[in-house]
Copies of this chain bind each other. A is one copy, B any other.
Amino acid sequence: MGRISRIPQAVVELMSGAKRDCWTIEELQNSLNSSGIAADFSSVFRASQKLEDQGVLRRVELNDGKAHFEFTHGHHDHMICQKCQLVSQIPCEFFETSIGEAVSRSGFKITGHSLVIEGLCKNCQNIGAVK
């Protein structure tokens, strides 16, 4: 077997080829299974861990009680529409050039941050109220 094992490789390929940017372990597993790749939840879990350790993936908190993973490169923050659950991206520069700078100036050394914005996306505002 090559240096990259079956499931981690499949996860990276799946994520590379899809539009979605944040995946729960369950979503990854289902998607793999659907494309004919057998994978146990725990195997996908371990794959995510390994990829996170290697710096390929980054764990993202969306405050829904589940772990989410995205590629480390192109790191960004997230907005979630509370109606359609659409997750959209916010460039991190917004954070870094405003809050981050102010916090750093206060003497706190920042090593990471998690920003989640909840609300209604443009589309759902037009359609109607929150379900």
Complex interface residues of chain A between 14 and 42 (CB less than 8 A to chain B): none
B108 x A112 contact (CB < 8 A): no
A122 x B99 contact (CB < 8 A): no
B114 x A119 contact (CB < 8 A): no
Q: A110-125 interface mask toward B, CB cutoff 8 Å, 1 = contact, 0 = none?
A: 1111111111111001
Interface size on A, residues (CB 8 A): 31
| Copies per assembly | 2
Of the candidates B99, B114, B118, B125, which one forms a contact with A99 in the assembled complex, judged by CB atoms under 8 Å apart? B99
Q: Give the residue name and chain of the B residue nearest to A115 (CB).
A: B115
A102 within 8 A of B: yes
A110-B119 contact in complex given A61-B61, A63-B61, A90-B99, C-beta closer than 8 Å: yes
A84 within 8 A of B: no
B94 x A108 contact (CB < 8 A): no
A119 x B112 contact (CB < 8 A): yes
Determine how close the nearest CB of chain B comes to the CB of A52; give it in whole angstroms: 14
